Structure 1
Amino acid sequence: MGSAIALALDGVMANLSLTVVESDEDKARKLLGGQLDARIVGDSSALGSEQFDVCVVAVKPGDAVEALFSARANLQSSLIISIAAGTSLASLRQGAAVNARLVRVMPNLAAIVRKAISVGYADGAMSCEDRAFVEVVFGAIGHFHWLRSENEIDLATAITGSGPGYVFSFAQHLEEAAERIGFSKETADRFARQVIVGAAGLLDEDARSPLELKHAVASPGGTTAAGLAVLEQAGAMPRVIGQTVAAAAARARELAMEQD
């Protein structure tokens, strides 16, 4: 995720000076693919006394506070953007310098193709300029949305963070259903992928709501209506989707409690 953000920023920010701290330097170079002129160091001790305007914390949640603490001397007045899932601003503050400004952002996997939906929450020290900068950073990998409270990050994770997994699951089962009615695996795979891509394109470019688009596809008495009659039974997709999101949100809250 960190490399996706870095590569996207290279295309929207002039005079970008990037330093990557990654214990596996070869891994970092591979992820950046030689497309970005970045300094890569193995740990924060190599930073010396250099000060950074912005720091993106793209590490495992359990490592976020330690990572900030180890680089505290280099981040005395920095804007710190954490994408470490489940790590609260209060926890991050334990590793950050007193004058640092903190924001939590949760992007999703689609950042890789710059189609992400990212959500964020900032503490009270954030200026309008800081907020605008965050919007530029995450606008470079898709869409960005501010949340009203930090608690909403856990709720949003169940939709925006986990949502791609639900879509991939639907595509998988659509492909398998296509195979069961007689199509080859290759053809079924192509059908499932393009159905998702095409529908996503309509959602992105057509002003109609999902409900309106659904009705546009489903002619009364037609094949789509017959399929939807099964899919949308009270005990089918409406119940399953509700339970899916609730389970993901509950787990997000559990993980946040474990981190704190």
Structure 2
Amino acid sequence: MIGCGNMGAAIAAGAVAQMPDVDITAVDPNLDRARELLGPQSRVRVVADLAQLGARSFDVGILAVKPQHVTAALRSAERHLAEALIISIAAGIPIAALRVAATSAARLVRVMPNLPALAAAAMSVGYGEPETLASEDRRTVQRIFGAVGHFCWLANEAEIDIATGVTGSGPGYVFAFAQHLQRAGEAMGFTSDTAAQFARQTIIGAARLLETDPRSAEELKNAVTSPGGTTAAGLAVLDAPDALPHLLIQTTAAAANRAAQLAKFQQQ
């Protein structure tokens, strides 16, 4: 694991918890922060720099550094990842750019996890060149990211930017909904703490039901809505064509377009 910040630590911690057969080493110059994020009982070995790895080589390397540091990290780790499966979670860095910095024998995969990986509830998406990845490589990627939530392979690399508008940025939309639901409660006279509790638990409960109930979101929405009732009155506002349906199309499109712009910028 090259880079052990919030996301890198979440992936490493999830992997060692769910995959007892793996041995993980994390490289991060901020040792104290990395160890704190991993937890005191973590089996992950943490070192400050690649020099401390000696001549050791690895089967899998995960790049969890900022996009501007990916090329340097790959080149610095070349002897340790000479024939490794390399997984990059850096936003906006295409496989073609990774290929330039990696060894010719490397197998390359891009994965975009999202923030709920911190709670082992991520929705991660990934793409790897079909001609370079063996079935075992695909299973390895699925095991690692399945340890921190759910994982889905994409049909082509361009879909990563599109998916980012839904999966990568989606938690932010949910948090915004919670924020404004809380404010609505406050506007109706509840204290900030009470309104926050109402908003938070309402969303947690609804999400738990989505997770455990086989019905679709639309079916669950209909189940809680009685004709002429209170939910129907609220949904008449929220479900209006120019309200939430229109806003979410605009929202996800804006995020996806920005992801594509950032990808082009990183390639320049």
Alignment correspondent of 1:230: 237
Quote the sequence identity (%): 55
1:27-176 → structure 2 map (5 Å cutoff): 27-123=33-129, 124-176=131-183
How far apart, CA to CA, are the structure 1 residues paired with 2:246 and 2:232?
19
1:253 aligned residue: 260
Q: Which moved more, 1:183-192 or 1:164-173?
A: 183-192
Partners of 2:196 and 2:38 in 1: CA distance: 30
In structure 2, what is the Cα distance between the partners aligned to 1:117 and 1:7? 16
Q: What is aligned with 1:16?
A: 22
Could you tell me how far 1:74 is from its partner in structure 2? 0.9
Aligned residue for 1:185? 192
Residue 50 of structure 1: CA displacement?
Answer: 1.1
In 2: Cα distance, 1:60 partner to 1:143 partner: 23
Q: Map residues 216-227 of structure 1 onto 2, 5 A cutoff.
A: 216-227=223-234
With 219-228 and 46-55 compared, the bigger mean Cα shift is at: 46-55
In 2, distance between residues paired with 1:29 and 1:199?
34
Question: What secondary structure is seen at the aligned counterpart in 2 of 1:214?
Answer: helix
User: 1:96-138 CA distances to partner (integer Å, 9 max, x unpaired)?
Assistant: 1110111010111101111111000011211000101111101
Listed as ranges, the gaps of 5+ residues in structure 2 are 1-6
TM-score calculated relative to the size of structure 1: 0.97
Of 62-71 and 148-157, the range deviating more from structure 2: 62-71
Measure how far apart 1:244 and its partner are: 0.5
**Aligned to 1:11, what secondary structure does the other structure show?**
helix
Alpha-carbon displacement from aligned partner over 1:230-253 (angstroms, at most 9, x marks no partner): 112222111111111110010000
Displacement of 1:16 = 2.5
| Structure-2-length-normalised TM-score | 0.94
Structure 1 consecutive aligned stretches of length 4 or more whose deviation exceeds 3 Å: none
The answer on whether the counterparts of 1:101 and 1:125 sit within 8 Å (CA) in structure 2 is yes
Residue-by-residue CA offset, 1:163-199 (whole Å, 9 max, x unaligned): 0000000000000001111111111111101110111
Gaps of 5+ in 1: none
Cα displacement string for residues 205-230 of structure 1 (whole angstroms, at most 9, x for unaligned residues): 11111111111111110111111111
Instruction: Tell me the CA shift for residue 202 of structure 1.
Output: 1.3
Q: Is the 8 A contact 1:7 1:35 kept in 2?
A: no
Which deviates more from structure 2 when the two are superposed, residues 110-119 or residues 24-33?
Answer: 24-33
Question: For residue 213 of structure 2, what is the aligned residue in structure 1?
Answer: 206
